[in-house]
Structure 1
Amino acid sequence: MTKSVGADSRRASTDSSELQSERDSSGKGKRLWKKVKYQLVEYHSLPAYLKDNEFILAHYRSEWPIKHIFMSIFTIHNETLNVWTHLIGFFLFLVLTIYTAMEVPKVVDSNTLQHLHDVLRKADMHKLREDLLTCLPSFPTLPDLHNFRDALKNSLPLTDLLTSLSNWHIVELLTNCLPESFSHINHTDNCVLRNVKDDMVSMIAPQTTRQITRWPFYSFMGGAMFCLLASSVCHLFSCHSKRLSYVMLRIDYAGIAALISTSFYPIVYYSFMCYPFFCMFYMGFITILGVATVLVSLLPVFDRPEYRSVRAALFFGMGFSGVAPVLHKLILFSHQPEALHTTGYEILMGVFYGIGVLVYAMRIPERWMPGKFDIAGHSHQLFHVLVVAGAYTHYCAGLVYLKWRDMEGC
C-alpha cells in the first residue's frame, strides 16, 4: 500500500515537471516566434503592396502590429530616415510659423528704425534739434511730451529719442516738423531733411495704418506642415496592412498636392493684390488643379510601381504651372528689387523640387548599387531633404513678400 502511494506521488511529480517543462517550452517558443515574426525581412519576402523599390533589398518591416510599428520610429530600418527627415521638417516649420507670427512685425520695425538712424546721420543735428523744439508744443498727443523736450534740450542722441517713440508719432513728427523749406539753412541741408521726411513717411506710414493680410503666407506654412507630417506618418505606418497602406498613401498624395497648391498662394496674392482679376484667376486655377490632382491620386491604379513615373509627372506638371504667374510678376514689377529677389528664391525652390522629383523617379543612387543604400542615402531620403530645402527657400521668399507689401501696400 505504501509503495503504491509512493509510486503515484512520483508519477504525479513527474507529470507536473513535464507539464511545467512543456509550458516553459511553449512560452519560449512564443517569445522566439515573436522575435522571428517581427524581424526585418528582405525584398523578396514582402507582400506585393509593399514592393515599391526593387533596388532596396533588405531591412523591411512587413505587416507588424501598430504598437511595434510605433516603437520602430526609434529603431533602424530602411524607413527610419524617411520618417525623420520629414518629421524634423514638420517641427522646423512649426517653429518658423510661431516665430513669424511673433517676430516678423518687430523685424520690420527694427529695419525701419535702423534706416532712420542712417538717414538722420546725414542731417545737421543741431539745426534739426532746434526745429523739433519749436514744433513740439503743437503735439499734445505725443506721449510724455515734457520729458521728451527736456531730453532733446540735454543733447541726448536724437536717433535714440526717436526710436523710443511709436511709429505713428515718428510719422507725425517727420511730416509736420520738417516742412518743405527752411529759411535758416542751406540748400543741401534742406534737401537732406526733405529726404528724411519722404523716406520715413513712405516706409513707416503703411505699417502704422494697416498690416497686409497674412492668410496666403500662413496657408503655405500650413500646407507645408501638413505635407511633411503626412509623409512621416505614411512611411511609419504603411507596413501594417494593405488597407492601412492604401489610406496612408492617399493622405501622402493629398499632402504633396496641398504643399504645391499653397506654395503659389503667397506668390500670386502678394504679386497681384492690386490686380484682382489676375489674382483670382491664378489662385483659382492652381486650387482647381490641386484638387483635381488629389482626386486622380485616389485611384488605386496609381499605387502600382509601373505608374511611379506617371505620379511624378503629374505632380511635376502641377508645379510647372506656377511659371506663368512668376513671369507675369517679373513683367509687371521689373523695376522692383523685391520682385527680382523673390523670383530668385522661387527659381531655387523649383530647382530643389525638380531635382528631388528626378532623383525619386529614377531611383538614384540605389539603382547603381542595389543593397548599398538600404539604410541611408537612397533616393526617397534625398527627395525628402530636397523637399524641406525647397519649402524653406519659399518661406524666405514669403518674408520678402510680407515686408514688401507691408511697406508699400497696394
Structure 2
Amino acid sequence: MTEGAIDYAGVFQALPGMVALLTPDLLFADANEEFLRVAGRTREQVVGRYLFDVFPDNPNDPTASGMRNLAASLTRVVATGERDAMALQRYDVENPDRPGEWEERYWSPVNAPVFGADGKVVLLVHRIEEVTELIRARGGPTGSRSRVLEAELYTRARELQELNERLRQAHAREREVALALQKAMLPARRQVGHYRAAVRYRPAVGALNVCGDWYDLVDLVGGNRIGVAVGDVVGHGLDAAGVMGQLRSALSAASRVAAGPAEALNVLGRYAHVVDGAESATAVTTFIDCDRRTITYSSAGHPPPVLVHPDGRVEFLDRATDPPLDARPDPIPRPEASTTYRDGATLVLYTDGLVERRREDIDTGLARLADSLARHRDEDPESLADAVLLELLPPGGATDDTALVIVRL
C-alpha cells in the first residue's frame, strides 16, 4: 500500500460484521471473512454464485419466509435506489458439511445501494447482524435467564414479522384500490379535436408515491380549441387518488369557461385552498387554438411542456411559471404566455417522474427528454410515447408516478 493510500479491500475483509457485495442480479461479487465464517461457507462456495442458490429456503418448512423477504428487500433497493433495513429474520441455513441438515439462524439485514457514474445501482451492500446467540442462548449458570430472554426476543421478533407482513398486505390492497380508482377517473381518449393523442400513466415502484399524477384532454368552448393539462398531487395512495380526481375535474370544468389557461389555474388554486391534501399540488395547462396555430400556457410549479417542431427544434414552454397551487396566502393572477406552431409539431406534457432522478439535476433529465423527443419526432404519438418511456424510465420502474401526454398538432 502506497503512503497515504487506504487498502479498502483489506478494510472490507477486516470488517467485524457480516458484509457481502451483490450484483443487481443478486450474484455474490464478494464477501468478507466474517460473513464466510458465520455462514460456514468458503469463498469458492459463495463468490460468483446466485444468492438463493447458496442460501435457499428450507424445503422441509413450508412456512419459511426469510429468503423470500430478503429477495423482496433486495429487489426494492435495486428498483428504488434506497437503503432498506429489514426486521429481524429467521433463516434456516443448510449445513455445508451435512447436506439436508438445516440450522436455525436469526439475522438482522440492512441492504444499501452503490451507484455507478451514470446514477444506476451497480452493487448492493448486504450487511447482517448475527443475533442467533441472543435468540437461542445455551447453557451456563444464567441458562434460565437466557431462556427467558430467548422466549421474549423470539416472541417480539415473530410479532414484528407478522406486523410487517400485515402492513405489506394492507399497502398492497390500498395500492390496488387506488390504482383502480385512478384508472376510472383518468380519461382514455386518444383523439382531441382533429388531432391524435397518446396518454400514458406508469405507477411508482412500491406502495408509496402512487396515484397522485393526472392528465386531462378537453374540447374547449368557443372556436376550434382544445385544452391539455397534467398535474401532480403531493401524497400517495387513496388520499392522493381522491384529491387528484377533484383537481382534475375542477380544472376540466374551469378550462371550458375560462378566457385562458392562467384564469383556469387561478380558479383551480382557489378551489385547492379548500381541498384537504391539495396543498403544494402542481399543474400545467395549455390551450391550443387550432385555427391560429397557437398554444397559450400557464404553469403552477410544474415542469414545462415541450413543443417539438417538425424540423427537430425543441422548445420548452417555460415563460409562464408560477408557484404551486395554494402556495400563496393571498393568490394573485397567474402569468400566461403563447407560442406558435406549424402542422406536424408535437406537444408533450408530463409529470416529474419522467425527468427527475435522485442525485441528478433536473436539467439533465430535461435534456434527456429533449434528445429522445427530437430523435423520435417522426413516429406516431403512440410509438413516440412508448419510445420516450423506454428510454427515460429506469428498467425497474421509477420511484414516483409518471404521466405522459403527447399530441400531434
TM over 0.5: no
Q: Which has the higher strand share?
A: 2
TM-score scaled by structure 2? 0.29
**Structure exhibiting the larger radius of gyration computed from Cα positions:** 1
Q: Which has the higher helix share?
A: 1
